[in-house]
A = this chain, B = another copy of it.
């Protein structure tokens, strides 16, 4: 019996679309070394996976020349269809592990399968009896939560809000009520060019005493966190960059 490979969850940097930070500032050397040894990858985006490997290769020699490393992309969700990805597609992606090779899973930023595609591949790996090995790296969600000073003993990540302003305001008030009832920090994200719109709605919709923390471009040189009551955000408005990812945390006061 051939011994099986593992599914290795490989963190990525958080500098997609921004000035590159030194990889040694955000990834452990052992994690880079492990990435350098992999010849099989599944990626949210092959191009950004290749870019990461190139950066890793500057620290540790890659097992194979970059062009010979197999990088397959995760199946994209079917537009307008709730149909599941056929099991055969997951099986094909996992085949190298069944043949005894470790496979890396990587997303465009941060940890794969967290606020990112990839969870279904991880689930398929468990069903196939493969070992799943998550490697430590940066997560903008938890860095933002830690930096917010809000409740870190109870929190929820709720993803994206509706785009339509009235629906977005309604959802924000719903999250604020939930936060008040449970004492739970609510974490949300938005596409960078909608950061300013989300902040504007939040300042209208939320109660003055509710705390709102925004972390922008975490791990980047330009990164910052501001954690303040809604009343203080209103009194001292702040423009949000439209190209840097932001994480919003709120806790009802």
Give the B-binding residues of A (Cβ under 8 A): 9, 22, 24-31, 111-116, 118-126, 131-134, 136-139, 141-159, 184, 215, 218-219, 224-228
Q: Name which residue of chain B comes closest to A224, CB basis.
A: B131
Q: Would you mind naming 8 contact pairs between A and B with Cβ atoms under 8 Å apart?
A: A113-B152, A115-B153, A116-B152, A119-B148, A121-B149, A134-B215, A153-B157, A154-B159
Which B residues lie within 8 Å of A131 (CB)?
224
A70 vs chain B, min Cβ distance (A): 22
A245 vs chain B, min Cβ distance (A): 14
Do B153 and A156 have beta carbons less than 8 Å apart? no
Contact A158-B154, Cβ < 8 Å, known A29-B24, A228-B126: yes
Do A134 and B146 have beta carbons less than 8 Å apart? yes
Interface centre among A122, A123, A146, A224 (most CB of B within 10 A): A146
7 smallest A-B Cβ distances: which pairs? A25-B30, A123-B149, A136-B138, A122-B149, A156-B156, A134-B143, A114-B152
- A interface, over-half SS: mixed
A26-B136, A123-B149, A136-B137 given; 6 more Cβ-contact pairs under 8 Å: A115-B152, A119-B151, A132-B147, A134-B147, A136-B219, A154-B156
A59 vs chain B, min Cβ distance (A): 10
Q: Name which residue of chain B comes closest to A133, CB basis.
A: B147
Which B residues lie within 8 Å of A125 (CB)?
149
Interface centre among A121, A124, A134, A157 (most CB of B within 10 A): A134
Which B residues lie within 8 Å of A145 (CB)?
113-114
Bound-state CA distance A75–B77 (Å) is 49
Q: Name which residue of chain B comes closest to A111, CB basis.
A: B146
Q: Which of B111, B114, B126, B149 touches A227 (beta carbons < 8 Å)?
A: B126
Bound-state CA distance A134–B139 (Å) is 11
A210 vs chain B, min Cβ distance (A): 14
